[in-house]
Amino acid sequence: MITGYNQYKENSINTAQPEELTLMLYNGLVKFIMKAQYAISKKDLEGAHENIIKAQNIIQEFAATLDQKYELATGLLLLYEYMNRRLVEANIHKSTEILEEVLGFAKQLRDTWEQAMKLAKHPPKKGAVVI
């Protein structure tokens, strides 16, 4: 059964559009931060370390793939660098408080990306107010 699930996940990744892959990465970022928080609460320092490193890897991938021709990229790069620094600090101190801060950013970025995907698929009618 696990093999079938792994095959499903691999197929999902291989057939996903770039914007869907980005959403998957944001979801992974949220998941790994939450798993790190749980590991710290259970005094599983190795598990916390592994999950924080996974979260850092995702953030580093986001930073490395930013398209610098867009003005927004500069601000996102600064945010990703800040988040990465805070994850390093969380890992050193095994701090759930720092992880909570980074988790807030991760969720906000994920939710914003998800909303942007919806708007791209179904743009508002001309003259409509988007809230």
- Alpha-carbon span 98 to 33, nearest angstrom: 10
- Alpha-carbon span 94 to 91, nearest angstrom: 5
Please give the pLDDT value at position 34: 98
Please give the pLDDT value at position 109: 98
Contact 73, 67 (CB under 8 A): yes
* pTM confidence score: 0.84
Query: DSSP letters along 86-98, please?
Result: HHHHHHHHT-HHH
pLDDT in tens, 5-52: 676 556 666 667 889 999 999 999 999 999 999 999 999 999 999 999
Q: Report the chain's C-alpha Rg in angstroms.
A: 17
Residue type for 97, please?
E
Please give the pLDDT value at position 16: 72
pLDDT in tens, 53-106: 999 999 999 999 999 999 999 999 999 999 999 999 999 999 999 999 999 999
pLDDT band with cut points at 50, 70 and 90 for residue 124: confident
Contact 102, 83 (CB under 8 A): yes
Please give the pLDDT value at position 2: 60
Q: Is the model's pLDDT at 121 over the cut of 90?
A: no
Q: Where are the domains of the chain?
A: 2-121
Backbone angles phi, psi at 116, to 5 degrees: -65, -40
Which CATH entry fits the domain spanning 2-121: 3.10.180.10, 2.40.50.140, 3.20.20.450, 1.20.120.340?
A: 1.20.120.340
Angle formed at CA 68 by CA 81 and CA 116, multiple of 5 degrees: 80
